[in-house]
Structure 1
Amino acid sequence: MPDGDRIALFLGLGLALFSLTTAAAQEAVVGAWSGPLKVGGTELRIVFHIEQGEDGLTATMDSPDQGATGIPVSRVTVTGDSVTLAVDRIGGVYTGALADGDTKIDGQWTQGGQSFPLTLTPTAEADTGPPPRPQHPEPPYPYAADSVTFRNEAASLELAGTLTRPEGEGPHPAVVLVSGSGPQDRNSEVANHRLFHVLADHLTRQGIAVLRYDERGVGASEGTFEGATSEDSSGDAAAAVRFLRSHSDVDPGAVGLVGMSEGGLVAPMVHTRFEPVDFLVLMAGPSVPGHEILVEQTARIAAAQGAPSGAVDSIRAVQRRTLEGVATAADSAAAAEHLRTVLEDEGVGADRVRSQIEQATDPWFRFFVGYDPAPALRQVDVPVLALYGSKDLQVPAGQNVGPMRAALQASPSDDATVRVLDGLNHLFQPAETGLPSEYAQIDTTMAPTALETISAWIRARTR
């Protein structure tokens, strides 16, 4: 046999063996694989569901502790014992290798320029669901719960929600719940916690009617969420107030707003600019401009994740330079140019520069970073309860309590209470670190002390 033919034969045999090995590995990875991802002192379960399709392997990813399911995996590559799962939607990639007789995959999860060890093992599909949430209400309820719709005439859209009404003869005091940033449904679900479902259930059992609704473009509500600002949200909340006041089971002289996070910024805006209400409850409401909130939020989260003090100072300085420029830019083009200059000076890659510019020129973001809530707070002329969690890293109490007290003391209101609830995080859960990655690990959706503080305060002012 000529040497060239022998080489071709050996090469052909090698390719055949490689193909068989890869095929066996592809078969071995089909199924559900899960493992703990350690981030900032907490563990998050990661689950990959890998299937064999007609055109090859496909997969989805879950982060059940964060309430994220069905995230499409862009590419599944199995070569020999090497496994790669690219998740373009969240900018992440998992690279690993089959080990111990294909009973585990040892590897690394990489996202945002950081890598974390992640070992996956086979798991039953039944074991990949969300953790229990013991506070989530279950029917039958001791009150009426009606699906309702109402119109924001100024925006020409209809919003949908749930109105819960206490047992017994009305009219009842009532509140509209105003949710935080991002597209939120009527339950304001975060990390598998239905915050507003729990809050509405508690308040209604205490004799207070509650309207919670899907934000525009979310759930059953009309409109488009993308491009909407806090001012747009204020118009929607004002329409909800008008709907409540017209309801026969609601006392029109005892209607208030309960705003959480960005909702705590929106609520005073509603009262002072769109539709006066009878009282305000602000839960983790910002009292300083948005760019200051984001600077401190980023720095404190980095510190809680273990970043050294020098790195935290550097993060704070870069964030301040970046966000102050965006906040004061004359228009989106100027904001984009400023951001490009700062990020390129810091050596940030082109893809990340593009994504950051896209975020910074979004109408919501530009409004938020430039808006100062203090002037609206100084105009409030009704009772106000402002609550903060001592372990909140997103709207830190240390940054916001003082300015909130100062603004309310300068307001016409003669009934303003500002309280810090010890040991609670941004969602008003009992927390260890306060990190957002911890939210999903906590069984409690909202601490009873927060629920009872709110309901007792409202009852005392609406008897």
Structure 2
Amino acid sequence: MKKLLAFFFIALSLFSFSQDRKEIGNTFIKTLLVDKDIEKAHTFFDPSIAGQIPAAQLKEITTQLSEQLGSLKQILEVNNEKETYYYYSEFEKSKLDIQVTFNEANKIIGFFFVPHKIFDKADDKTAFKIKSDDIELKGTLLVPASDNKKKLVIFVHGSGPQDRDETIGENKPFKDIAEYLYTHGIASYRYDKRTYSNPETFNEQFTVEQETINDAINAALYFKNNKDYQDYQILVLGHSQGAFLMPKIAEKAQASKYIFLAGNARPLQNLLVEQFEYIHAIEPDKISQEAVQNIKKQVAFLNSSQFNLNTPKSELPLGQPVAYWKYLKDYNQLNEVKKIKEPMFFAQGGKDYQVTEKDFNLWKNELKNDKTAVFKFYPALSHLFIPVSGKPSPKNYEIKGKVDEQFLKDLVQFILK
């Protein structure tokens, strides 16, 4: 979809603000996606953009969007940051933000479809910010008012730009888990990952330290050293990539316990090949044979002696820069996890095609002599710890579900033990 929609342009400086922009954006979206009056919608663009996106191209893009998302049902809410407005929109097949940027003349100079961005409301008492290196982590802090067990869990996301709820399709697993913990007297803090909130902070030299590890450590240490939480036990919960990187987080987080949810014990690049092959086999329209061969070629190069610090990222998996992959190649999570002295909880779903029972068993075997490590396998649960039926596939994420209660009970038992 990005190739179809990547006509986002840098906004001009804002010298004045118009109260009419919200309504102008509403009218533009209705004209384009409901009335399908392409010529009229095209007139909302600034001439600098209109010249680059002819009406015929806009019509083609709109048609393909309709095929992918279905019809626009309603705009759920509107938020803005200066000159950029986010129209949280419900389509037949998905929900996302339509991002519209205006210039000082109230003409559109940016138009993009992006994952829904969470905006903290002024009256939201659970909104909480923490300074982490060069940014503020914006998140949600839930602290039970009664029956407080004095335990606080820090949530660490999976790969990619993730919001604090770890929204994936119609599901919000982090929100489900945090709210369940809250009802059982357990506090939590979940924040927007910096690839979601501050993607501009990344450059070619960044690694998973900047992407994930440092922010998780900073969040844990914030509560560890905050006088208001001196009598709390701090725990860190990582999902997928967050669990994969947990041994590095544990080096400095000073937490009391660590929770690994569907973390890969094998090298990430090797899992990518397995994932691409699996999805191609069940949904070839999503990942082509060409894409499978390409990822195999990139991973083979990455794993070879030819890989070096001068390798262009075009030759590497996912288009990530060389520094990113160099760090991961040097990282051995199975060696590092043995250094953790605190109790650990490992959970794995049997319907998870992204991280599988192979990984779960590798963790389990590596820690077979650690009597404090707890391992739980759930045959019917997906990568999000939501029950699914049939053969697992990406389509599972499009169906709204809730995190499994038995898993949640086991998690609470570990936290309170």
For the superposition of Structure 1 and Structure 2, which TM-score range results when normalised by the shorter chain? 0.5 to 0.7
* TM-score normalised per structure 2: 0.67
Equivalent residue for 2:220?
241
User: Take 2:243 and 2:382, find their aligned partners in 1: how far apart are those partners?
Assistant: 15
Picking from 296, 308, 317, the partner of 1:331 is 308
Q: Does the 8 A contact of 1:256 with 1:278 survive in 2?
A: yes
Picking from 368, 376, 389, the partner of 2:349 is 389
Report deviation, 1:260: 0.6
Equivalent residue for 1:280?
258
Report deviation, 1:325: 1.8
Picking from 91, 104, 107, the partner of 1:128 is 91
* TM-score normalised per structure 1: 0.61
Matched, 1:437 2:395: yes
Match of 2:160, SS state, is coil
User: Take 2:54 and 2:330, find their aligned partners in 1: how far apart are those partners?
Assistant: 39
1:173-194 CA-partner distances (Å, limit 9, x unpaired) = 1110001111222222211322
1:9-65 CA-partner distances (Å, limit 9, x unpaired) = xxxxxxxxxxxxxxxxxxxx97647xxxxxxxxxxxxxxx73434474899xxxxxx
Give the counterpart letter for 1:422 in structure 2: P
User: Take 1:179 and 1:192, find their aligned partners in 2: how far apart are those partners?
Assistant: 17
CA RMSD, 1 decimal = 3.9
Counterparts in 2 of 1:113-152, with a 5 A limit? 125=74, 128=91, 146-152=126-132
Match of 1:196, SS state, is helix
User: Take 2:69 and 2:184, find their aligned partners in 1: how far apart are those partners?
Assistant: 47
Name the % identity: 19
1:51-103 CA-partner distances (Å, limit 9, x unpaired) = 434474899xxxxxxxxxxxxx966539xxxx96237xxxxx849xxxxxxxx
Q: Does the 8 A contact of 2:32 with 2:41 survive in 1?
A: no
Counterparts in 2 of 1:36-47, with a 5 A limit? none
User: Take 1:203 and 1:387, find their aligned partners in 2: how far apart are those partners?
Assistant: 16
Report deviation, 1:263: 0.7
Give the counterpart letter for 1:414 in structure 2: K
Picking from 383, 392, 409, the partner of 1:426 is 383
Report deviation, 1:306: 6.5
Equivalent residue for 1:160?
138
The answer for unaligned runs of 5 or more in structure 2 is 1-29, 46-51, 76-89, 96-123
Give the counterpart letter for 1:224 in structure 2: T
Q: What is the number of equivalent residue pairs in this alignment?
A: 334
Match of 1:401, SS state, is helix
User: Take 1:151 and 1:177, find their aligned partners in 2: how far apart are those partners?
Assistant: 16
Matched, 1:408 2:367: yes
1:128-168 CA-partner distances (Å, limit 9, x unpaired) = 36779xxxxxxxxxxx953322233xx34332222111123
User: Take 2:367 and 2:293, find their aligned partners in 1: how far apart are those partners?
Assistant: 30
Match of 2:141, SS state, is strand
Matched, 1:181 2:139: no
Report deviation, 1:320: 4.2
Matched, 1:50 2:36: yes
Who wins on radius of gyration, i.e. which is larger? Answer: 1
Give the counterpart letter for 2:416 in structure 1: R
Greater percentage in strand: 1
Counterparts in 2 of 1:262-273, with a 5 A limit? 262-272=241-251
* 1:437 to 1:178, Cα distance in 2 relative to 1, 3 A: same
Equivalent residue for 1:86?
61
Equivalent residue for 2:201?
224
Give the counterpart letter for 1:323 in structure 2: V
Report deviation, 1:251: 5.5
Report deviation, 1:454: 1.3
